Structure 1
Amino acid sequence: MRSVHIAARAEPIIVSPRSAQDGKTLGGGKVVKTGTRGGGLDGYFKITERGSNVRTEVIAGLTTFMTMAYILFLNPLILSGPDRDGVTLAPAAVLTVTALAAGLTTIAMGVFSNYPFAIAAGLGLNAVVAFQLVGGSGLTWPEAMGVIVVEGIVILILVLTKFRQAVMESVPLPLKHSIAVGIGLFIAVIGFVDAGFVTTTTQPNPPLQLGAANELQGWPIGVFLFGLLLTLFLFSRRMKGALLIGIVATTIAAVIVNEAFLDGEAFGGKANYGSIADFPSADNFDLIGNFSFGFFAELGIIAAILAIFTIMLSDFFDTMGTAIGLGREANLLDEEGRLPDIGRVLAVDSGAAALGGAFSASSNTTYIESASGIAEGGRTGLTAVVVGVLFLLSIFFSPLAQIIPFEAAAPALVIVGFLMMTNIRHVPWDDFELAIPAFLTIVVMPFTYSITNGIGASFVSFVFLKLARGKASEVHPMMYIAAAAFVVYFGIFYVRLYLT
């Protein structure tokens, strides 16, 4: 993605994470010569080379953090049930380790990879931990987190052996474009659902509806619409920092509405905190290192391996899709649709998964909400460092971090979704063998609420169509391996039934 100026997409500027002095052109744009690179932050993060500046990177970091801050109070809610021993995780402790893990891993992403990608506890993955491993399989919280630690270590090994990178490079370029489009549509759907603009009906037909009872009702919807229209207005005026201004203004509106009309109980934050500081006690850090590998004995070797495989495949391809989509939007991909130095991104992301389990925060992964900061012009690791620092500060200022309601972040997600959707023009719709897999990627991601499912549908259908047309030699060997893994993934119920 690029800055707020929509017209800028046609001719992206500095895109290479390496020096622009070699005249290399990436992402279909032109390299802008900037002369000698400065020292300090500019020199390390190559800010000027990528056509950015420190102010833009800071604004981008603030924007990304504000669209991700919901995880600080949502993760404790999801990881709240009792395990088989009746033990529950203290919400304050979960919030602390969630912020700590996100802060450390996001800073590591910025410093080590120099990309504007933020990391935090993965939604979906934390639900698997809470409802499948603990609630369904009867594991204790330490045992469930042990599964995550092992999963992260396995993926890290795949990164260090360059297997993960090889899979990413084997994906045809049009499918990479469709992954970015699918993620964009997914982000937009998340925004509409988080705001209550789209809700479920609890009926088979129709399964979804507009607002409540197919009507737009209540102050939360009103606040969301205010934020959406305001942000669209700022975008149309090409206002720098449009997303950040929209989030802040909508948060203020939510607080006012909450206090003036809803007695501070319906949604959003309260206007009058006793203190915005909330210093954690030492007990809040007790969850660090609270993991166990006893799940092998509890589940049995086969069931334990299947549990690790299911989570690992989801984590593996979620990050692949996210990195490709974000890299595409930031114009950081090369001519073949590859993200330079992708190994650094994947290494940090894999380590973050293991660290999240070790901290009892669930698997940490790269967030698609990073696209909001990219939309504000974030192009370097400094954006990620800003996000990481804000997560660390939120340990001490958790009330301030929790004041941002879903309705304030949702407009930014909808607009970012639109920006990512524009990649659809790069899909060759007249080529059946690529168009069908691309189509499945785009529709399956939002409809199943899973990046992994969309990528899996794309890979399996791509290989199938090539085989059906007698073009097996045109498929990269890694695509066969990935497609076979997805066949197992989609049929995991029957695999588990047969093996256990």
Structure 2
Amino acid sequence: MESFFHMKERGSSTGQELRAGLTTFLAMAYIIAVNPSLLAAAGIPIEAAVTATCIGAGIMTILMGVCSNRPLACASGMGINAVVAFTLTPIAGGDWHAAMAVVFLEGIIILICVLCGLREAIMDAIPASLRHAIAAGLGLFIALIGLINGGIIVNDDSTLITMVSLGSMDNPGYIVALVAIFSTFVLYCLRVPGEILIGIVIAVIVGVPLGVTSAPAGIVSGLDFSTFGAPFLLDADGVMGIAKVVASPVLLMFVFSLMMSDFFDTMGTAFAVAKQGNFLNEDGTIEDIRQILIVDSTAAAVGGLVGASSITTFVESASGAADGGRTGLTSIATGVLFLVAAFFAPLVAIVSTAATAGALVLVGFLMMDQVQEIDWSSRLEGLPAFMTVAGIPFTYSISSGIGLGFITYVVVALCTGKAKDVKPLMWVAAVAFAISFFI
């Protein structure tokens, strides 16, 4: 095992990797309940959606661990699953098979881009300042997710922007989230190993008397594979979902749109986890990025194929990396837990999103040290970096924040007479983002 994972070389151990895998799983476990609830709006049976979510995440996370040997986990991405349920399915006349076919096709196209070296080349074309900004922006985004999940930041229609008001102690989840955050902070300050996982466990226990940690609705759940092969299944009229997409210009346009989102969401997530997992080089490049991108691109296509929406590298993977995960064994442990969860989904559901707030907020803090690597006195570095750092959490979208940073970079380069310093692929990416925003 050591010869394959190189745990000692990376300052880790089997126990540390397994613990980090559990931490990542608990931080991601909400997707087992959330993804099926969203896909149900598209007409997908809950049982089938749970099976697709768990099996898809489990297989692709294990594959990520084996192929890249990095602590990255995959699951159905938030955002695209909502697009599948509330946009693509209605456009396809209520046919969720066609919606999954869109996801399948965009995954295939991204995989081709990776195999041709295009996706990796675009990442290499990104200036170091923007790479650091993406990691910092992801830190704020992760922390924001944790605060929202815990009810500490809530929606307030009286303010200019939603989700900018402080929550209330009347909400038990708010109390659990505070316990999760500050217990994790205390453990971190005391340098207690496994502080993130311990913080989650403490919050789950505190949530029992408060009613936040509920008793499981059951123990064992059955499997339903009826969504597998979704793009090639027939609708009521006997038409394959993928055939419907190919014949629809509107659905084909969404293939491009989702491709842009998946393309750069993964890039941002990889930077975030690489920082925590110590495989981000000094120049901002990521070790083993090609293997990571190949698995991630394959995962997107597999998500559409099994009917789980696009499966992508999860930013919550950073919680396991921050908890000591350094190798693919962390991912394998997380993946196995997802496969087990397919049979025991009711038990996994007792870990509330509030209980994981501490993990996400601490990870956000740890990632903010990237801002010191940016030369804020430079207009060409500072302005695009700011738009990226602010854009990711404020738009609640990794790809949108990255797009704002890219577009700002080329505009500032033009204004400061440094256009010749911008690599050609940065121009291509900025134009692609501009088109995507317009669409």
Short-chain TM bin: over 0.9
| Cα distance in 1 for residues equivalent to 2:343 and 2:214 | 17
More moved, 146-155 vs 469-478 = 469-478
AA in 1 matched with 2:11? G
Structure 1 residue matching 2:222: 3-state secondary structure: coil
- Going from structure 1 to structure 2, the CA distance change for 1:372 and 1:473 (only over 3 Å counts) comes to same
C-alpha distance after superposition, 1:366-390 (max 9, x if no partner):
0010010011111110000000000
Q: 1:153 aligns with which of 88, 93, 108?
A: 108
AA in 2 matched with 1:236? C
Q: Match of 2:202? A: 249
| Shift of residue 205, structure 1, vs aligned partner | 3.0
The alignment status of 1:93 with 2:53, answered yes or no, reads no
Q: Match of 2:305? A: 358
| Cα distance in 1 for residues equivalent to 2:386 and 2:372 | 12
AA in 2 matched with 1:80? A
C-alpha distance after superposition, 1:303-349 (max 9, x if no partner):
22211000000000000111122112222122322112211100000
Structure 2 residue matching 1:334: 3-state secondary structure: coil
Q: 2:360 aligns with which of 396, 399, 413?
A: 413
Q: 2:185 aligns with which of 225, 228, 232?
A: 232
Q: Match of 1:48? A: 8
Structure 1 residue matching 2:75: 3-state secondary structure: strand
The aligned runs of 1:68-107 (5 Å cut-off) are 68-82=28-42, 88-107=43-62
AA in 2 matched with 1:55? G
AA in 2 matched with 1:221? Y
AA in 1 matched with 2:383? I
Q: Match of 1:189? A: 144
| Cα distance in 2 for residues equivalent to 1:483 and 1:205 | 29
AA in 1 matched with 2:50? L
The alignment status of 1:468 with 2:423, answered yes or no, reads no
Q: 2:225 aligns with which of 285, 288, 297?
A: 285
| Shift of residue 301, structure 1, vs aligned partner | 4.1
* CA RMSD in angstroms, aligned pairs only: 1.6
C-alpha distance after superposition, 1:416-454 (max 9, x if no partner):
111111211111101111100000000010011100011
Contact 1:103 1:392 in 2 (8 A): yes
Give structure 1 stretches of 5+ with no counterpart. 1-40, 83-87, 259-266, 493-500
| Shift of residue 296, structure 1, vs aligned partner | 5.6
AA in 1 matched with 2:222? P
| Shift of residue 105, structure 1, vs aligned partner | 0.1
- Going from structure 1 to structure 2, the CA distance change for 1:466 and 1:126 (only over 3 Å counts) comes to same
| Shift of residue 202, structure 1, vs aligned partner | 2.3
- Going from structure 1 to structure 2, the CA distance change for 1:298 and 1:342 (only over 3 Å counts) comes to closer
The alignment status of 1:268 with 2:213, answered yes or no, reads yes
| Cα distance in 2 for residues equivalent to 1:45 and 1:373 | 16
Q: Match of 1:376? A: 323
Structure 1 residue matching 2:32: 3-state secondary structure: helix
Contact 1:176 1:325 in 2 (8 A): no
Structure 2 residue matching 1:201: 3-state secondary structure: coil
The alignment status of 1:388 with 2:335, answered yes or no, reads yes
Q: Match of 1:13? A: none
Q: 1:433 aligns with which of 380, 385, 403?
A: 380
Give the structure-1-normalised TM-score.
0.84
Q: Match of 1:140? A: 95
AA in 2 matched with 1:243? I
Q: Match of 2:390? A: 443
Q: Match of 1:478? A: 425
| Shift of residue 268, structure 1, vs aligned partner | 3.3
C-alpha distance after superposition, 1:268-316 (max 9, x if no partner):
321xx5753x1414xx111111224546646854322211000000000
| Shift of residue 171, structure 1, vs aligned partner | 0.5
Q: 2:256 aligns with which of 309, 330, 335?
A: 309
Q: 1:344 aligns with which of 280, 291, 298?
A: 291
Deviating above 6 A after TM superposition, structure 1's stretches of 4 or more consecutive aligned residues are: none
| Shift of residue 191, structure 1, vs aligned partner | 0.6
Q: Match of 1:123? A: 78
AA in 2 matched with 1:280? G
AA in 2 matched with 1:288? F
Contact 1:210 1:216 in 2 (8 A): no
Contact 2:137 2:393 in 1 (8 A): yes
AA in 1 matched with 2:15? R
The alignment status of 1:113 with 2:68, answered yes or no, reads yes
| Cα distance in 2 for residues equivalent to 1:71 and 1:314 | 19
Q: Match of 1:262? A: none
AA in 1 matched with 2:62? I
AA in 2 matched with 1:180? A
- Going from structure 1 to structure 2, the CA distance change for 1:274 and 1:125 (only over 3 Å counts) comes to closer
Give the structure-2-normalised TM-score.
0.95
Give structure 2 stretches of 5+ with no counterpart. 233-239
| Cα distance in 2 for residues equivalent to 1:54 and 1:400 | 25
Contact 1:61 1:386 in 2 (8 A): yes
Q: 2:19 aligns with which of 59, 64, 85?
A: 59
AA in 2 matched with 1:343? R
| Shift of residue 135, structure 1, vs aligned partner | 3.3
C-alpha distance after superposition, 1:134-189 (max 9, x if no partner):
13553411110011110100000000000000000000111100100000000001
- Going from structure 1 to structure 2, the CA distance change for 1:206 and 1:488 (only over 3 Å counts) comes to closer
More moved, 328-337 vs 395-404 = 328-337
| Shift of residue 400, structure 1, vs aligned partner | 1.4
Q: Match of 2:436? A: 489
Aligned pair count? 432
Larger Rg: 1
AA in 2 matched with 1:216? M
C-alpha distance after superposition, 1:196-228 (max 9, x if no partner):
11111123536344345xx43222111111121
C-alpha distance after superposition, 1:373-411 (max 9, x if no partner):
011111110000000000001011111111100110111
- Going from structure 1 to structure 2, the CA distance change for 1:143 and 1:401 (only over 3 Å counts) comes to same
| Cα distance in 1 for residues equivalent to 2:214 and 2:172 | 14
AA in 1 matched with 2:340? L
The alignment status of 1:401 with 2:356, answered yes or no, reads no
Structure 2 residue matching 1:120: 3-state secondary structure: strand
